[in-house]
A and B are shown apart, each in its own frame.
Chain A
């Protein structure tokens, strides 16, 4: 076996951060290699260095036995390295063929024109050769996420990549699409390609990779063959201590119905229904989970519940009163707290300090504003108490939100929302991009609320999280609730089918 890529002692220093600290990585040709680690462990930085996006502060890159230094992605591409980023680098209004050939367009008329037909032909042939099944003439914005990802793979292959780097490739896929992706990996390695994929999911690394390298805090913890390790051992390597993979959910007496949603529907920007005929209820002392692949109407449904939009049809009843058309403001006043999906755009005003951010949503509450005048002293006290109670670091109320880490930002938002003393909490992806310590903390908070008799609606694309925390769980696909299941009884396979919009048993509604 030959070595496709070897990284020796890579160090990368950013202002104030040591992202990679003397990292080593060896990848054999024709294998699948998983780069495993928590968020912020330095995995993506390392791969961006290999792809020429960053220059390493120190270290050696060896590709196919030659030492190389890539000043730009173009140099890396020329050396046969391709990268598929987590956020796809696709131009949405352009077709697959236009995207695949971007920057390397086949020309005609002495270079004066792009040969569009040749591009389509070449991309179709490539798609065929590697079993990718992509229509070259389809505009990218009309394609599903899975197909967009395959377009990215085509892009790399078109440029002659022998080593493919994929950054968190499964984060946005259904379990079935993940299966397909793994079989594409097989196709590719059969034809001699090498694959490096970045992940923080233990199970995937075990299932897909031949070898696994674990990074933590910018350092290599170790490399190991997938067959020679266990989930527990990998988890300990990732986190540096023993972790509980299971969430403990003590039994709690369920109380009265707090939220009843009946047959709500809403159209999306493109005219197709984003939420269609969804009904459910949530009770005091209960966590109601909503699972599903991102982009299946969860966001739109949550906007209907929180008052950011109103449904075209159907009704929402909260605490015995109809709130279908109540404004966002009114819902805040009624005791509906909301931990939003996008903390950078919604949950926090990034240039504001924590005092000002603590006021977000409370700016018309009498304890902070009197006759339109803001009581900044009370606001400062409020922010300080959130910081103390929820262990936000640095413990400085005049720090700007943008200066905090993701975990601390999220803890602050959770603290602010819980300080409203809510009757109902709606939380969407509350631990996305949050470190393991903060994740555990946020999980504890949600469970404590449940014990205190609050109703919680939880949306998450992390299956472990939503299964572990929820008392009941709905699976959403294409704007509909495919089914509501008992999270303790349902199997992973059943969930996978539900998330793809199919009923495992067929019959029931």
Chain B
């Protein structure tokens, strides 16, 4: 009976999810005079891809960390620090790419710190992840004020879209080929992560490390090393996301929840919804990014902006409730210690 109830509940939630989305979209179209043509357009797709960068890269990073058994709930912190460091890097060097590298480096350093705290010092992963977020949430605006006198940095140079001749002129999907370098990197990363996880020995080890670390250990692979590499990789990927996002805008804004505004937490939901599959995570990211695009375009509409802004957050909650029982890696969140040392 519990099983039937569970299945009924799941059906019910899925149904509720779909109808809620349809209803929300219907209301939006009805009240704003937006047409389907506005959504199925190059402009909409392009904006969605740009907004996908932070969420999708953070989600890819989160997949590696959690699959290896370390829940990285501090992805938000990696995004924030990468966003700030990349802008500071551009201001310092004048080069967008140097700024990009600075952002990735900063996020990676945070990941090293997080890995040491969780793996070496056996910290509670959720609390440590929250701490990483809180530190970044303080450090970004603090350093911005130290360097530029305000929690918001000055405007800098940013990434420009590169159109691939021919492909970019295709109707609608041409937008896929007229994007900034971070979006092209995202295409490569999604495929690359999928390949690594499913077709390489390292991918197998990551999987085993999160499911049954002892099995991996007794097979002669160093679980600690696999987890370190995975967590640091999550920092690199989230760093690309944070830097790529900030550099497509050309400014770091640090007031309130900063410009990242919870995208790191949305990333966690994106990979849960994508069932830890990089391609699935990317597709669910486009759902959230699409909603954010819609929300930005609607701010000119009749509905008050602040209410429209809640739509992506509420969607995240509804989605999480519907997929809540995703099978998480069996040993995720648990410290593992080999032998008797």
Contacts and interface: CB of A to CB of B under 8 A. Distances in A.
Contacts of A107: 201
Contact of A90 (B3, B215, B339): B215
Interface residues on A, range: 35 or more
B36 interface: no
Contacts of B339: 53-55, 72
Interface in A436-467: none
Nearest to B217: A73
Contacts of A111: 201
A312 B211 CA distance: 32
Contacts of A16: none
Contacts of B208: 91, 94, 102
Nearest to B220: A74
Contacts of A74: 220
Interface string B174-213: 0000000000000000000000000111001101100110
A104 B204 contact: no
B218 interface: yes
A78 to B, nearest CB: 9
Contacts of B1: 266-267, 310-312
Contacts, number: 83
Contacts of B201: 105, 107, 111, 114
Most-contacted residue by chain A among B208, B215, B340 (CB, 10 A) = B215
B219 interface: yes
B221 interface: yes
Tell me which of B3, B218, B340 has the highest count of chain A C-beta atoms within 10 A of its own C-beta: B218
A118 to B, nearest CB: 13
Contacts of A267: 1-4
Interface in B1-26: 1-4
Contacts of B172: none
Nearest to A12: B340
B215 A99 contact: yes
A22 B208 CA distance: 36
Nearest to B3: A267
Nearest to A108: B199
A102 B214 CA distance: 12
B3 A93 contact: no
A113 B204 CA distance: 11
B218 A89 contact: yes
B167 interface: no
Contact of B340 (A54, A83, A155): A54
A85 interface: yes
10 contacts: A54-B339, A73-B218, A89-B218, A91-B212, A92-B212, A99-B215, A102-B205, A103-B221, A268-B3, A309-B2
The 6 tightest CB contacts between A and B, nearest first, are A103-B219, A74-B220, A89-B215, A312-B1, A267-B3, A105-B201
Interface of A: 14, 51, 53-55, 72-74, 77, 83, 85, 89-94, 98-99, 102-105, 107, 111-114, 155, 266-269, 271, 309-312
